Amino acid sequence: MRGYGWISLTTDYGTFDGFVAACHGSIARIAPEVRVIDVTHHVPPADVTRGAAVLAQTAPHLPTSVHVAVVDPGVGTARRGVALGTPNGVLVGPDNGLLIWAAEALGGIESAYELSNKDWFLGDISRTFHGRDVFAPAAARIAAGAAVGDAGPPIDPGTLVRLPDPVVTVGDGWIEAEVMTIDRFGNVQLAAGGSMLAGLGPDLLVNGNVRARRGATFNEVDKGDLLVFEDSAGRVAIAVNSGRAVVVLSVRPGDMIRLAERRP
């Protein structure tokens, strides 16, 4: 029976408390030989969209794994726990849109099951800590070789909760796109794919009044100047050489940014 040598963890738990260690412990009690990769535990609290973006951009670069993601403001409610099978791994977590982008990045959803098999859980289930009591144990059992279908009844993938598609609009010499994420360096990532930059000239205006230059590396602009580039995830991004683009542009995820050619 197929198993997995790796489990990844993506959460908003932070690392000041014992929440992450407890999830590691649940995995180790069931599948001590399985190795765990911590993607991040610093997703902003309850920011499902940010967690979904981080997971989707990271999972394809990991070994074939069971990916556990827990950004779960609906914990303890009627929202489902799910396991999603893809050609390149399994995703386990809440049915709140968190897993869908990663599933698509891993080749698409081949199967979906509700996590309802109580034999898979550990002890009494806390209403507020399904990461420890439901998701981590389920992932450990799958990694150890249990069939995903043993998690519970099958689900029609069409009934899974999906996040709204990020907004991207393209015109003659301009792009408008939603801010997807802002990393710890202050770089602003947009929903637009990096290939869209090919339709723009080298000199740009951001939101109509901030000058920027299209390039590939940070040193193509002077210190303090803005660079528009394709980032490592294949998205359009904006950075400041030796600075923070988020401060210059004063934006946050969900805001819209317009990039337009600067013409005489």
Phi, psi of 129 (to 5 degrees): -140, 60
pLDDT along the chain (264 residues), means of 10: 89 97 97 97 96 97 98 93 98 98 98 96 91 97 97 97 95 95 95 93 94 92 95 96 96 95 83
Whether 50 and 180 share a structural domain:
no
Residue-level pLDDT at 1? 47
Residue-level pLDDT at 263? 79
Give the CA distances from residue 214 to residues 69, 197, 200, 202, 204, in Å, rounded to whole numbers and listed in that order.
35, 8, 8, 5, 7
* Cα 223 from chain centroid (whole Å): 31
pTM of the model: 0.93
Q: Which residues are CB-neighbours of 39 under 8 A, at least 6 positions away?
A: 8, 9, 10, 54, 55, 58, 59, 62
Q: Is residue 195 part of a domain?
A: yes
Are the CB atoms for 238 and 214 separated by under 8 Å? no
Q: Which domain holds residue 133?
A: 6-159
Q: Is residue 35 part of a domain?
A: yes
Strand partners, 196: none
Sheet-wide strand order for 35-40: 35-40, 6-11, 65-70, 89-94, 81-86, 111-114
Q: Is residue 1 part of a domain?
A: no
Residue-level pLDDT at 123? 84
Q: How many domains does the chain have?
A: 2
Q: What tokens does 2 get? A: 């197929």
Cα(50)–Cα(162) distance, rounded to whole angstroms?
Answer: 14
